[in-house]
Amino acid sequence: MTTMWKGPSRVPEPEDPPGPDLSVDLAPGNPRELRLTNPVIAASGCFGYGLEYAGVIDVQTLGAFVSKGITRRPRSGNPMPRIAETPAGMLNAIGLQNPGIAGLIRKYPRIWETWRVPAIVNISAESVEEYAEMAAILDEQPGIAGIEVNVSCPNVARGGYCFGWDPGMSAEVTAAVRAATTLPLLVKLSPGAVDIVSVALAVEEAGADAVSLINTLVGMAIDTRRRRPVLANATGGLSGPAIKPVALRMVYQVAGSVRIPVVGMGGISSTEDALEFLMAGASAIEIGTAIFVQPSLPLEVIAGLEVWMRAQGVENLGEVVGAAHPAGIPLRRSHAQVAS
């Protein structure tokens, strides 16, 4: 069955030439660095806090994982139903159910500290000050390799407008978080922005170490029998293979403009999909919804990338990043050999 991974196609022999270099630094401009052994990251909201999958796959093999989005205070989330399947995709309106930053700190950093895999904490907030406050709290914690700032959560609207739709507001959040922590900082961009490239450039200018994109697209489904929205929240975030072409286009556009590393995501479900995002200019990729379907997929993609690199004679993944741009992309220092 092709959907299931049966391990690397062959075990490397001692006389094999050194393996290809899949490593990546997502914060090359930051002394604290965010160095990953490979570019495959489990996406926020799809991997819990890492422990949920620790008994199912070898979590330590991942490039990194991003925690479920946390907020300043605990949240019990939206009413049910919270998820709805759509063609080749799914809608979710979980509503940021989480134990709050204090609850997270009580339980996870001391576990993550003992892990080899970098843990990135995803944060959401309802004001610039709250973002900064959370970043300052995380700055002092062990076991946290970086922060992913969610400026684009489509479900928790306060005042009706999302930070991530506006370059100025996104930059304001980024600058405040940057001032509050020296931790590597990824800003996760919203596909709902009028011009996502402007937002990316604004957060780069404001001090982001990297940008990750895309968050989910706002969508809905209607139950015609009940004549009501399927989700209790009416709208939700669309994810899965259905959004991949849109995500790829946005990664291609952003990677063509910014100089910081780009982390691409949106419907990635195979090694081939991951390669598309890398060629579009992503230095690393996140896998989200596909993990729900196949928990081992990220490991399959890591092995698949290595097999592909050997077959293609690619020694460093940096050779592939942005390859689809006819005129190339701005130089970035996410991969060692590209920087030299």
Partner 1 sequence: MSGVQGALVHHGRSREIEGDVVALEPAMGDSTLLTVRVPSAVAAEIRPGRFFDILCRPDGSSDPLLRRPYSVFASDPARAELQFLVRPYGRGSAWLARRRRGDVLDLLGPLGNAYTLDPGARHLLMVAGGVGVAPLVLLAREAVASGRNVVFLLGAADASGLLAAGHLPSAVEYVVATDDGSKGHRGFVTDLVPDYVRWADQVFACGPEPMYRSLRNGLLPLRIGNRPRVQVSMEREMACGLGACLGCVVETKRGMRTSCVEGPVFDMDDVRW
* Active-site annotation, residues: 153
Buried-exposed string 44-71: b where 16+ CB fall within 10 A, e elsewhere: bbbbebbeebeeebebeebbbbbbbbbb
Of 17, 55, 160, 313, the one binding partner 1 by CB under 8 A: 55
Q: Is 84 in the site for partner 1 (CB under 8 A)?
A: yes
What minimum distance in Å lies between the beta carbon of 161 and partner 1?
26
For partner 1 (CB under 8 A), the number of binding residues is 46
Q: Could you tell me which stretch among 39-47, 175-183, 219-227, 245-253 binds partner 1 (CB under 8 A)?
A: 39-47
Euclidean distance between the first and the last CA atom of the chain, given in angstroms as a whole number: 42
Whole-number Å distance between alpha carbons of 289 and 44: 10
Q: Are 267 and 243 in contact (CB under 8 A)?
A: yes
Q: Is the bond into 268 cis (omega within 30 degrees of 0)?
A: no
Write the interaction track for partner 1 spanning residues 179-198; mark x where CB under 8 A is met and - where it is not: --------------------
Q: Is 115 in the site for partner 1 (CB under 8 A)?
A: no
What minimum distance in Å lies between the beta carbon of 113 and partner 1?
21
Q: Could you tell me which stretch among 27-35, 79-87, 122-130, 319-327 binds partner 1 (CB under 8 A)?
A: 79-87
Q: Is 57 in the site for partner 1 (CB under 8 A)?
A: yes
Write the interaction track for partner 1 spanning residues 306-335; mark x where CB under 8 A is met and - where it is not: ------------------------------
Nearer to partner 1, 29 or 295 (CB): 295
The type of residue at 296 is S
Three-state SS at 2 = coil
Whole-number Å distance between alpha carbons of 73 and 90: 27
Of 40, 41, 64, 94, the one binding partner 1 by CB under 8 A: 94
Nearer to partner 1, 191 or 236 (CB): 236
Whole-number Å distance between alpha carbons of 272 and 244: 12
- Give the DSSP H or E segment for 183: none
Whole-number Å distance between alpha carbons of 56 and 54: 6
Q: Is 89 in the site for partner 1 (CB under 8 A)?
A: yes
> What φ, ψ does residue 186 adopt, rounded to 5°?
-105, 135
Q: Could you tell me which stretch among 52-60, 147-155, 162-170, 258-266 binds partner 1 (CB under 8 A)?
A: 52-60
Q: Are 157 and 181 in contact (CB under 8 A)?
A: no
Contacts (CB under 8 A) with partner 1, residues 230-269? 240-242, 269
Q: Is 35 in the site for partner 1 (CB under 8 A)?
A: no
CA distances from 53 to 152, 293, 318 (A): 25, 13, 29
Q: Is 223 in the site for partner 1 (CB under 8 A)?
A: no
Whole-number Å distance between alpha carbons of 151 and 168: 12
Q: Is 92 in the site for partner 1 (CB under 8 A)?
A: yes
Q: Name the residues that contact partner 1, by CB under 8 A.
A: 1-7, 45-48, 52-53, 55-58, 68, 76-77, 80-90, 92, 94, 97, 240-242, 269, 289, 291-296, 299
